[in-house]
Structures are given as C-alpha cells and as structure tokens.
Structure 1
C-alpha cells in the first residue's frame, strides 16, 4: 500500500507518517522502480505501535527505541503482545463504563450524596455553572462526575475549593466557555492539527494556575479517562491526552 493508504488505515495524516520517518521513529521503505514507496503489514503495525505508545505517555524518543527493538522480533510475537494489550484495555473499559453508568444514573436521579460515590459539591457546581450547549461541554460534565467518584478524600477537598472558585468567578467561567468553543472547532480536525498542541498547552497552564492552585495534579488515574475519549472527535481527544501529559510533568 502507498503512504496515503497507510495513513488512512491508522487515521493519521500523511504528514504525521512523514514526520515519524524524519525523526527516525518509523522505518521508511525504499522506493521502487516506479518511484513509490510500498508499505506492508509490519509498517502498519509499527505505526499503530507508535500511536499507542504515545497515548500511554511515552516520548517519541522512547517510542523510537521500542520500534527499533521490534525490528528484530518475529511479527507473530508482536501481534501476541498487541492482542494482550487490547484484552487489558477491553477489560478496563468494561469495568469503567459499568462504573460510569452507575454514577451517571445516580446523578440524573439526583440521588448522589456524601457516600464517597460522588460529592454534593460537584452536583451543586454543575447546577450553578451553566455549561455551554456543546458536545465538548457535555463530555466534560460526565468526566467531572467520573473523576469525582474516583477521587480520594484529600483530592475531593481540593476539588471542593476549585468548584467554589469557579462558581464565584465569572471570568473563570468565561475562559472555560472559550476552551469549549476551541475544542468544538476541532470536531472535524485530525489529531495532528496545528491547533491541538497550543490548546493543550493552554488548558494545562490554565488548570495548573487556576484549578490546581500550585499543588500539582490530583492523585487520579489518568488512564481512567482514556476509555471515554471515544466520545470526542480525534483532535479533541488528542488535546485532552496532551494536556494531561503536560500537567503530569509539572
């Protein structure tokens, strides 16, 4: 297959594939007599591996080392490893979605209370702060409920202060609405759209300064977010991933 077919198969742009070639991450096949490069199954698997490793938080340099090691391995061994990874993801997704369904059902019924399932402070915040009518805002609301349900008591105390500050400051709410607008604008964009990185940086900066109050990221399992990113467009999901990785490094 040609580079465009490879990119389409993995839902990336040809620019992304070429960038990985330039960085020495993805091996570039030699040109044939007709001038084209032909990609095969091992190339597709290598590209899928790069994308997965980046999603897990590895740097491109670290991903390059893994892909380099893969070149000396049997293709069947790599496929078995990928299958095991998918099985783990499937199990985690099933558990988290069952948990989320329970929490959202309680939230919709207004029956959540101080039982360590979700806080009344969060529900009060969601009623007080009027979120814009957008897909990104609706996703954020559901995620807030999920993350609150998974937080430790110490994290929840910090979150209460955050909710109070957001509800009391119209400027913060307006800034949040602007982020939702920028996320919605990426609904039809690709994950490597040039707007993704700056928006992720802005979200991370805003969260560290205004929401985390200099105390560092809460002790949440960031992987818990991953199963719910399929509710967003690819570029929107990439913004969330990058923003969380940036915050984790600070």
Structure 2
C-alpha cells in the first residue's frame, strides 16, 4: 500500500502521515526497491488509532503514551477496540439524526433555538408566566441541559419539567418564584428575602429534576460552580438553598 492509499483509507492527508512519521508516532514502513514506502495493515491500524485519539481531544504527546501501551497488544484486540469506537460513533450519529428528524417533523422551530418537540411544548407552557428575566434565563438553561444530557437524562428532565407546568396552581407557584428571584437581582446573599425565595423555588422543583443521589458538593462540581456564578449573589444564594431543600428533603411551603 502506497502513502496516498494509506491516507485515503484512514481519511487523513499524506502531509499528516509524513508529520506522524517525523514525530515518531507512525513507524516507518519498509521501502521498495524504487524507494517508495510500502505500508501494511499494522500501519492502517496505528494511523486510525492516532486519528481517533486526536478526535477525542488528546494531544500528540498523550497519543504517544497510549500507542506505547498498545505496542504489546495483539492486533485483533486493537482492531476490536477500533471497531467498538466506530460503533459508539455510529450510535451517537443515529441519536443526533433522530433528534434532527424530530425537530424537522415538528415544524416551526422555537425562537429559543433548535430544541426538541418536548422542550418546545414546555416553553409553550412557560408562556403562561408573565415576562420575567429569570424565566428567560431558565429557558436558556433548559436548552443547555437538553443539548448536553444523555437520552435517559433528557427523558427524566422532560418529564420533571412538564410536571412542573402541568396544572394552573403549579404555574402560579412558578410565577411567584420567578417574581421573588427577579426581586433579588440586586440583593446580597444575606438578604432576608433569600429564604422565602428559596422555599418557594424548592416547591417548584420537581423531585425528578435532581437525581436520587442528589448533587455533589459545590466545591467538587465545576458545572454547578459555573452555573451559580452566572447569577447575582442574592439569586445564587436562593437557588443554592432551594436545591439543598430538595436534596435533603428540607421543610418547604413557607408561604
């Protein structure tokens, strides 16, 4: 196999192949009498492995370490792992295409962005809530959660959020929670209104929205830290306290 055939088989350029040779990532093959490189199946496997690892975000130094660990492995084992990687990619692509088909079948897309029909229906229910900066922020957060969650988590989130807007009294609770949180936009974490806002918000948070295992400590959870840091101090304090009430089963219904 010539270098052009190797590159085309794996989906890289011949320049990339030569670069990997230069870095010592891809072993140099034997050369024919005319001086041309002659590649074998092992080179295809290694090159495909390098491409896959770089696609996963590994730097070339990290790729070198992984390849060193692979050196003593049986070819069939490496091929099996590559096949499993491809199967996972295929499954992820099928899931993404299914979501796109559902969006296209739904018709008009929400102004909040390309969201699933389930989330679009939830946003329609949220339209019953008067204009609120916190409500607009929630729609952004729900869109983010849906785009980053796995299929099982998405189903759990959709079910929990739909239940939160299922009845008029639930909408009234959410409306009150948004109003209390909006009022904390310029407040500090020690504002006496934080407690009431937290209790009302906790009553609005369906149990299924937070996993049974609860939330990790904020100091150990980068997403939670980033999430709360995006809110003014008073609102962040109320949200943090409300989540604690839900996770710990604290007393709710303070008004």
TM superposition score category, shorter chain reference:
0.3 to 0.5
Asked which structure has the greater RCO (Cα within 8 Å, sep 6+), the reply is 1
Structure number with larger C-alpha Rg: 2
Alignment TM-score, normalising by the size of structure 1 = 0.45
Alignment TM-score, normalising by the size of structure 2 = 0.44
